[in-house]
Structure 1
C-alpha cells in the first residue's frame, strides 16, 4: 500500500507522478531491492565463509536488538520468565569468541583440548513468552558505564566471569589490571574496559564468607567457615563495587565446620569431628545474608544479583570414568527429573532474595535481582568438558580411569547464556 495522501480539495484524483525525480519512488524501491538481492546472492555464492559469518552475525544481532524487548525476571510483574523455557536448535549461536585468545582456564577450553563434537555450540535458550537476544557487548558496557562489576563465589562463578570477560573482550579493547601470579589458579583477576570506563573483577570465595582450610590449601581436608564475616578480599573492596553477582552452593553441599566469631556452632559432612550437625540449608541462607548485608551497607546505589544453583551431570558412580558425561544434546522437557536437593538450593536463593528486597525496600539504594539458571543449566549435560578438561585425552587410547569435568561448562558454551540474561536484568528499569 502506498503512502497516505490527504484528499484533494479540488476533487481530482491524487497525482502518481513525482515532479523533480528522474524515476518514481516505487521504481526506486524496486531497483534498491534488486541491488540488495544481487549483493546477498554474491555474498552467499562468492564470498569466503568467514566473511559470510561476520556479515550475517551482525545482521542477526541487529534484528535481535531491534525486534526484541527487555522483560523482567519472575516476580517482576511482566510476562517474561527467563528461568523457564527450552533449548532450541540455532546453528552457530554460541560461537562468539576464541577461548584460547581470552585466556580462559585451560580445562574449560574444550576446542583447544581437542573435543571433536561442537554441536553444543548450536543451541540457544528460548524463554517462555519472550525472546532472549544474543549477548551484545556494547549494550552490556553501556548498561554498566563507569561502574565496577564483580562476580564473587565458587568455580561456577568463575566459569561465568570468564565467559563475560571473553564476550566483552572479543568486541572491545581491554587492559589487564591484575591477575594471580600463580599460573592456572585464576582465583582473582581484574580487567578494565577503557571505552566505557568499566572494571570487571572476579573474586574466588566459594562460601562467599571468610573460609580457611581447603579453600586456601587443597591438601587440607576440611573447610573452616566463618558465617559472620564476608570474604577477606572482596569484603575489603566491597565499597568500590557497583554491580555484585553472587554465586555459591556446591561447597556448602560438600560440608564444612562453621563458626560464629571464634565459636564452633556446628558442622556438615564431618561426623568424625563430633560437632553438632547443622546441614547445608541454614549455612547457605546465612552466607547469602552476610554477603548481601556487606554489599548493601552505605547509601551507594548498587545492583546485587543472586545466581541460583547450576547442577552437575555426572553419570554412574565414578567421576574418573571416561563415560561420566558423554551426552551430546540437551535434555528435552520432562526427559530428566531434577533432584530435589537442587530444587531446594534454588528455592533458598529465591527466599534470600525476597528477604533482601524486603529489608532494602523498593525505593532503596540497593536493587536485588535473581539470575535463575538452574533449569537451563540442568538441561545441558552436553556442554561440559568431560574428559576434554585435559588436552588430547585419548592420545594414548582409552584408559580405565580418566578424570571428567561434568560440572563446569566449556567456553564458549551454555554458560554464556547466564550473561545474556544478566544483561537483560541490568537493562531492566527498576
Structure 2
C-alpha cells in the first residue's frame, strides 16, 4: 500500500513547530498523518480478522478495483497469444463482485445457491511465453469503448460473458442501469445496460444459430431446430449497424438436432437419422452462418467497427446430465492433462479460418479479432454451477437426480477471464 499523505498536501503554509500555538490542531500535522495511517491500518486488520466474509467483500472489492485500475494495468504486447497457457493459483483473483447484486441469472449465482467450495475463484490464466494478462480494469475498458455500443450476439455463452462484463464494470465506481430487457423478467434473451459516465451501452442478443431458427431453439419440448442458413436472425441483424464492438459467440446449438434450409429447400440434417435427409454434420452450416454474419457486420457501414469472434467454450459433462456429480471437480486440469479435440477443435478451426479470410477480404476497413478461449475453458471443469444451479441442491427432501449445468460459468468465475482478454484485444485493435 502506498504511503499515507496529509489531507492537504498542497497547502502553502509552513508547518508549525511542535511548540507553536496553532488553533485547530492538537498534534503536529506530520504526527496526525501518521496517526491516521495507524488507525487505518488497525481498521483494515480488524476487517480482515474479525468481520464476516460478506462485509470484507463489500468493503475491499472497490478498493482492489481502484488499485488494479490505477497501478496494475499493463500495456498489452501486440504479439501476445492469450489462447495458450496454464491456470495458476492466485488467491482472491476472481473474487471481484457480488453476482446477486449485479443481477445475473439465478442458475449462475453459485455462491448464493450455496456452493460450499469457493476455490474456483482462486485461479488466474497465465498466457504462454510470459505475456502479461492484467486483472480486469473497468476504467480502461470504458475508456476503450467510450461512446460505443458493445453487443454480444449468440448463444447462452454470449449471455454468460455479457453478464460477466456488466458485473465487472459494475464493481467499479462507474454507475450503470438496465435500460431494456425481455418482457418476461425471467428471460435473458435480450438485455441492454447503459454506463452514462462514458456513454457506453452493452447489449446481449439471443441468437444461438446466428441465423434465423425456429423449433427446439424456442421450445425444448420440440425434437429439433429448423435453421435457415440464408437468413440471419432478425433482431441482431437489423441492429447490426448500431454495433461498434460486436462479439459473436456460438457453436453449441450446431451440435444438437437440426434441420438446415436454404429458403424452402432442405439442405440436410444433423443427428436426425430418421428424417430421410442427408446428414451434413455441423461444421459446414456453422461456417456458412459465421461467414454470413461477418459479411453483415463488415458490409456497408462496417468501417471502423470491431468484430470479435469467440471460439467455443466446451462443456464438462462427465456422467449423465442428471447425476449430481457429473461435473464436481474442484480444480483446473493441469497443463497437458486435457487437450482440445473433437467437435470443439473443429468449431475453433472454422472460426479462425473465417476470421482470417474476412480480414483478407476486408482490407483493414474494420478490425477483426479472435477471442480464442477454447483451451483455457477446456481446462476449467471446476468453474461450472453443476448442481448448484439451484439453491441448496443437497438439502433435505431434494431428489437424487437433478438438472446440472456443466457448460456455463459460475459468476464470478472463469468466464471473467474472457473479458480480461477481450479488453487486451480492444487495446491492441490497431
TM-score normalised per structure 2: 0.86
Q: 1:40 to 1:333 in 2, by over 3 A?
A: farther
- Structure 2, unpaired ranges of 5+: 1-13, 17-30
Q: CA deviation at 1:39?
A: 7.5
Alpha-carbon deviation of 1:43?
5.6
Deviation of 1:99 (Å): 0.9
Q: After superposing the two structures, state which structure 1 stretch, 298-307 or 412-421, moved more.
A: 298-307
Q: Unpaired segments of 5 or more residues in structure 1? A: 1-19, 23-30, 73-77
Give the aligned partner of residue 313 of structure 2.
310
Moved more, 299-308 or 412-421: 299-308
Aligned to 1:301: 304
Q: Distance in 2 between matches of 1:204 and 1:273?
A: 27
- CA distance in 2 between counterparts of 1:405 and 1:83 reads 24
- Which range moves more in the overlay, 396-405 or 35-44? 35-44
Tell me, in whole angstroms, the C-alpha distance in 1 between the residues paired with 2:94 and 2:227. 37
Aligned partner of residue 239 in structure 2, secondary structure? helix
Shift of the 52–186 alpha-carbon distance from structure 1 to 2, 3 Å rule, reads closer
Equivalent residue, structure 1, for 2:23:
none
Match of 1:71 in 2: 77
> Is residue 371 of structure 1 aligned with residue 371 of structure 2?
yes
Query: How far apart, CA to CA, are the structure 2 residues paired with 1:56 and 1:242?
Result: 30
Pair 1:263-2:269 in alignment: no
Alpha-carbon distance change, 53 to 194 in structure 1, aligned in 2, over 3 angstroms:
closer
SS, match of residue 98 in structure 1: coil
State the partner residue of 2:21: none
SS at match of 2:84: strand
Equivalence for 1:175:
177
1:370 is paired with a residue whose SS is strand
CA–CA distance in structure 2, aligned partners of residues 46 and 99 of structure 1: 25
Matches within 5 A, 1:324-403: 324-362=326-364, 364=365, 366-396=366-396, 399-403=399-403
Cα deviations by residue, 1:168-207 (Å, 9 ceiling, x for unpaired): 2222212222111113220011111111111111000000
Call closer, same or farther: CA 1:403–1:40 in 2, change over 3 Å.
Answer: same
1-structure distance, mates of 2:177, 2:36: 40
Aligned residues: 394
Post-superposition shift, 1:215?
1.4
Partner of 2:67: 59
Paired with 1:97 and 1:398, the residues of 2 have a C-alpha distance of 29
Equivalent residue for 1:15?
A: none
- Residues 339 and 375 of structure 2 are in contact (CA less than 8 Å); yes or no, is this contact kept in structure 1? no
Give deviations 1:29-62, integer Å, cap 9, x for gaps. Answer: xx9x999996885465345563566545533443
1:227 corresponds to which of 229, 232, 237: 229
Contact 1:106/1:184, CA 8 A, preserved across alignment: no
**What is the CA-CA distance between 1:268 and the residue it aligns to?**
0.9
Q: Distance in 1 between matches of 2:239 and 2:60?
A: 45
The 2-side partners of 1:162 and 1:284 are apart by 25
Q: 1:188 to 1:54 in 2, by over 3 A?
A: closer
Give the 4+ runs in structure 1 shifted more than 6 A.
33-37
Q: In structure 2, what is the equivalent of residue 412 of structure 1?
A: 412
Deviation string for 1:119-146 (max 9, x for gaps)? 1111111112211111111111111111
Q: Distance in 2 between matches of 1:216 and 1:52?
A: 42
Secondary structure of 1:120's aligned partner? helix
Task: Tell me how far apart the structure 2 counterparts of residues 137 and 53 of structure 1 sit (CA, whole Å).
Answer: 13
1:182 aligns to what SS in structure 2? coil
- Superposed, which structure 2 residues align to 1:110-189 within 5 Å? 110-128=110-128, 129-171=130-172, 172-189=174-191
> For residues 342 and 53 of structure 1, do their structure 2 counterparts lie closer, same or farther at Cα, with a shift above 3 Å needed?
closer
TM-score (norm 1): 0.86
1:99–1:166 CA contact under 8 A, matched in 2: yes
Secondary structure at the counterpart of residue 199 of structure 1: strand
Contact 2:314 2:377 in 1 (8 A): yes
